[in-house]
Structure 1
Amino acid sequence: MKPARADPRASRRDEHYILDLCDEFLGLKAVRQHSFPFLTGDPDLRGCRKPLPVDGFYPGLNLVVEYHERQHRESVGFFDDKPTVSGVPRGEQRRRYDERRRDLLPKHGYALVVLEVDEFTHDRAKRLLRTSEDQAVVARRLGIFRAP
């Protein structure tokens, strides 16, 4: 049986699909788009910093799971070059924010697991094909967080 073809909005839903697999494996429900007071974006023109959400947070495990679609590794043309309110191109801002999460979350006692699109079966456009092997990837990456 052929997998269902992904539509152009698949990257957002791919994130939900991956977090659903994590929820199922861990037996817990992640808090989606959770923000921490110490994790903020660059200041805007008025000097205000907005919270940087994480994809999934498991409070009982002090675990944050991020799913990185292709734009975290590859340039996505027009969108990456567009300037942000902080004055840097969107692609550079994404790189900085990913680095900020990698740096600050562990410093505050949270484990961070980043699941990359390339770890999962995907098509040429890097949309997930949603195969049974995806569960094995999640199990391998999150195994140490699962209760015995």
Structure 2
Amino acid sequence: MKDLSKVEKINNVIEEYFKGNVSLTIAPVKDLMPAFIKAGIFAKDVKKGLPIRLILRELDAENQLALIPFVYAERHGNHTYWYFVPANVVTPDVPYKQEIKKTKNDPIAIRLNSDETYVIGLCDQVLSLKANRQKRFDFLLGDLHKNGKKQTKLPVDAYYEELQLVVEYKEIQNFRPRANFNQEEEEENTKAISREEQRRIYDERRAKVLPENDISLVVISYSDFDYDEQNKIIRNEDSDLKIVQKALKRFC
């Protein structure tokens, strides 16, 4: 980022905001726009927080997000939801709960209540770090698209940069075909193979390519936990934490 003059002011405003709202553990960045405007950082708000989001995107692209230590980026594919959290506070497992009213059939709500989100949240607790979720690497690519030119970067469930560690959570659909297989990944495949086979290939690729780039990989499966007839984890945080601690013992 060429102009860092606003960063210190932004940090000061965020710190003061949470001092005045001690009950908050997370806030969408748009909620702080009035305070940023009052501090003279921005002249006005545009599209519910776009000015601050543009700065965060630029810092993110240049790997400088650490300049604003309050930032939490919740990544979903190619889209990022931006939040601020107080200093020295563990990010909640469900960061959207203060912003979005969720309904039973809301896909965002379903994902946030998923076993993957739950397990990665436990990993965050065990490691005392916040995962970069759905992280994509330049060296981890899917098959060539049908045009024979483009390859999509494959996401990982959780990346801990400080430990050079990736954690992948395997739900039941990782072991059998599923109806809503990612269309983008399907279009990459130039061979007439099943979706189940494509997932297996990509899992093997992650297992091979990540260590080749000095990144450790830990795979945690739904079957490591107690689970019900729908293959969903029967959640008991105390015992589940012990399972995750065992899986991550090399990194604790």
Task: Bin the TM-score by the shorter chain.
Answer: 0.7 to 0.9
Partner AA of 1:130 in structure 2: R
Q: 1:11, 1:69 within 8 Å by CA — same for their partners in 2? A: no
Task: Give the Cα separation in 1 of the matches to 2:115 and 2:152.
Answer: 25
Measured in 1, the distance between the counterparts of 2:246 and 2:145 equals: 39
**Counterpart pick for 1:23 among 112, 124, 133:** 124
Q: 1:121 aligns to what SS in structure 2?
A: coil
> Which amino acid in the other structure matches residue 145 of structure 1?
F
Aligned partners of 2:112, 2:196: CA distance in 1, in Å? 16
The structure in which a higher percent of residues are strand is 2
Q: 1:90 — aligned with what?
A: 195
| Count, aligned residues | 138
Q: Which amino acid aligns with 1:63?
A: L
1:143 aligns with 2:249: yes
The Cα offsets for residues 97-148 of structure 1, whole Å up to 9 and x where unpaired, read as 00000000011100000001100111111111111311111010111101xx
| Deviation, structure 1 residue 36 | 0.8
Deviation at 1:11, TM superposition (A): 9.2
The structure number with the bigger radius of gyration is: 2
Per the alignment, residue 52 of structure 1 pairs with: 154
Deviations 1:12-48 (A, max 9, x none): 7211100000000100000000011110111111121
Kept in 2, the 8 Å contact 1:56–1:64? The answer is yes
Which residue, out of 140, 161, 170, partners 1:39?
140
The answer on whether the counterparts of 1:79 and 1:90 sit within 8 Å (CA) in structure 2 is no
Rounded to whole Å, the distance in 1 between the matches of 2:114 and 2:141 is 24
Q: How does 1:118-129 map to 2 (within 5 A)?
A: 118-129=223-234
CA contact (8 A) 1:105 1:111 kept: yes
Structure 1 residues not aligned, in runs of 5+: 1-6
Range with bigger deviation, 87-96 or 60-69: 87-96
CA contact under 8 A between 2:140 and 2:154: conserved in structure 1? yes
Change (3 A) 1:77 1:104: closer
The alpha-carbon deviation at position 84 of structure 1 amounts to 2.5
Q: Identity of aligned pairs, percent? A: 38
C-alpha spacing 1:79/1:92, structure 2 compared with 1 (3 Å): farther
Residues of 2 paired with 1:59 and 1:18: CA distance? 18
Give TM-score scaled by structure 1 length: 0.84
CA distance in 2, matches of 1:55, 1:142: 15
Aligned to 1:69: 171
Shift of 1:76: 3.5
CA gap of 1:108–1:12, structure 2 versus 1, over 3 A, is farther
User: What secondary structure, in the 3-state scheme, does the structure 1 residue paired with 2:231 have?
Assistant: coil
**Cα separation, 2, equivalents of 1:89 and 1:49:** 19
**Which SS does the other structure have where 2:152 is aligned?**
coil
RMSD: 2.3
CA distance in 2, matches of 1:116, 1:11: 18
- Bigger relative CO (Cα 8 Å, ≥ 6 apart): 1
